[in-house]
Amino acid sequence: MPVAEERDLMLDVAISYYLDDKSKVEIASQLGLSRFKVARLLEQARDDGLVRITIVDGVIRGPLSEQLAQHLQLDRVIIVAGAADEAENREALAQAAASFIRRSLHPGGVFGFSWGRTLSRIGEFIEILPASTLVALTGSVGTDITQSPVEVLRGIAGHSPMRTMTIFAPLLVESASTAEALRRDPAIASVLATYQHLDLAVVSVGSWDPPITQLMDSLSDSERAELDRAGARAELVGIFVRDDGRPIDADLTRRRIAISAEQLIAVPQVLAVAGGVEKVPAIAAVARSRIINALITDERTARSLLKLEPVPPGPRQLPAEASD
C-alpha cells in the first residue's frame, strides 16, 4: 500500500477508535481489516506522532520525550502540551512536576527544592504525601515571599506529615566573610548538612541572556558586568553557567548561601522544571552542565531545544571551569 494511503488508513482507524469510541472489532468490520491489523495501525499512529495521548496531568506521551532526553543526554524528560498564556503554561508544568514528585517521594526520603513562580504552584496539585523531609536548596531571593523556597516547601508539605528545613537567610549576602559566618550558624549548618542525603532536587532555570531571572535585581552593576564578560547564559540555585555548561567562578558565588554545584551534581535525581521558548538557550546550557538529569518542559520549548546542537555523550560530572 502506498505511504499516503497507509497514513490515511491510520488516521481513519485512529479517529474511529479515539474520537468515535468504536471498538477494534467494529473498526475491523467497517474497514474490512483484521482486528490485529487495526491494533497495529493504532500502535503505529502513536509511534509516528499522528496520535498524541494526553493524560489528566497534560503530559504528552510519545517519542518526543525520548528524542529530547537523548538530545540533551538526560535520564528522563516529561513534556506537557503547555499553553500560549504564560500563567497557564506554568500551571501545566507545575501539575506535571507534582505528579513526578508524588511518584518519587517515599517515607523517610530527603527532597530539596529551589524557588520560582512555577515551583511555588506545585503544592496546588499535591495532597497527602508520605512522611519525609523537605529541604530548601537556597536562602531567600528578593522580597516576594510567594516565590521563595519557604513558600514552595509550605505548599508542598500542606497537611502531610512532613519535616521542612528552611534557610532563614538571603541567597546572596553582603560579603564572602558574612556567608562563611552564616554557614557556621547551627540552624543554617543543619540544613546545609542534609544536602549530602538528598534523594531528589527540584530546581527552576533562570535565563541570564535574555534576562529572565529573579536574581537580576539582587546584583550590583559591577557583578552584572562580570557575568556578562564571563558569558553567563543560565542560572540555577544561584549557580551561573556558560553556553557550554561550564560554571562561572564569579565573586558573587562566594556570597551564596545554597547548595553547591558539586553537591547538586551528586544528587541521584535533579529535576529542572522550566518552559518558554525564551529560556531555550538557558535550558540547553544547564543540560550541558550535567547538573540536571531530568527535565519537565512544554512542547514548544521541547521542539525548539531539538533544533540546537545535541549535548555530547559523557559522564555526569561538572565541565571544567575556565580561567578568565
User: How far apart (Å, rounded) are the C-alpha atoms in residues 156 and 101?
Assistant: 10
Summarised one tens digit per residue, pLDDT across range 243-296 is: 999 999 999 999 999 999 999 999 999 999 999 999 999 999 999 999 999 999
Task: Indicate if the pLDDT at residue 55 is higher than 60.
Answer: no
Residue 147 binned pLDDT confidence (cut-offs 50, 70, 90): low
pLDDT at 324: 45
Contact 240, 211 (CB under 8 A): no
User: How far apart (Å, rounded) are the C-alpha atoms in residues 80 and 149?
Assistant: 24
Q: What is the 3-state secondary structure (H, E, C) of 141-171?
A: CCCCHHHCHHHHHHHHHCCCCCEEECCCCEC
pLDDT at 5: 81
- Which of 61-65, 134-138, 143-147, 198-202 has the least mean pLDDT? 143-147
pLDDT at 1: 56
Task: Indicate if the pLDDT at residue 7 is higher than 70.
Answer: yes
Q: What residues does 98 pair with on adjacent strands?
A: none
Summarised one tens digit per residue, pLDDT across range 178-201 is: 999 999 999 999 999 999 999 999
Task: Indicate if the pLDDT at residue 58 is higher than 80.
Answer: no
Summarised one tens digit per residue, pLDDT across range 159-183 is: 788 999 999 999 999 999 999 999 9
pLDDT at 248: 96
All domains of the chain in start order, with CATH: 3-47 (1.10.10.10), 54-305 (3.40.50.1360)
Higher pLDDT, 128 or 244: 244
Q: Is 113 helix (H, G, I), strand (E, B) or coil?
A: strand
Q: What is the pTM of this model?
A: 0.81
Percent residues over pLDDT 70 in the chain: 95
pLDDT at 2: 61
Task: Indicate if the pLDDT at residue 145 is higher than 80.
Answer: no
pLDDT at 50: 84
β-strand pairing of 133-136 with 110-113: parallel
User: How far apart (Å, rounded) are the C-alpha atoms in residues 316 and 312?
Assistant: 11
Summarised one tens digit per residue, pLDDT across range 66-102 is: 999 999 999 999 999 988 889 999 999 999 999 999 8
Say which amino acid occupies 216. M
Mean of the per-residue pLDDT values for the chain? 91
Residue 152 neighbours by CB distance under 10 Å: 28
Closest CA to 119 of 97, 142, 87, 137: 97
pLDDT at 167: 95
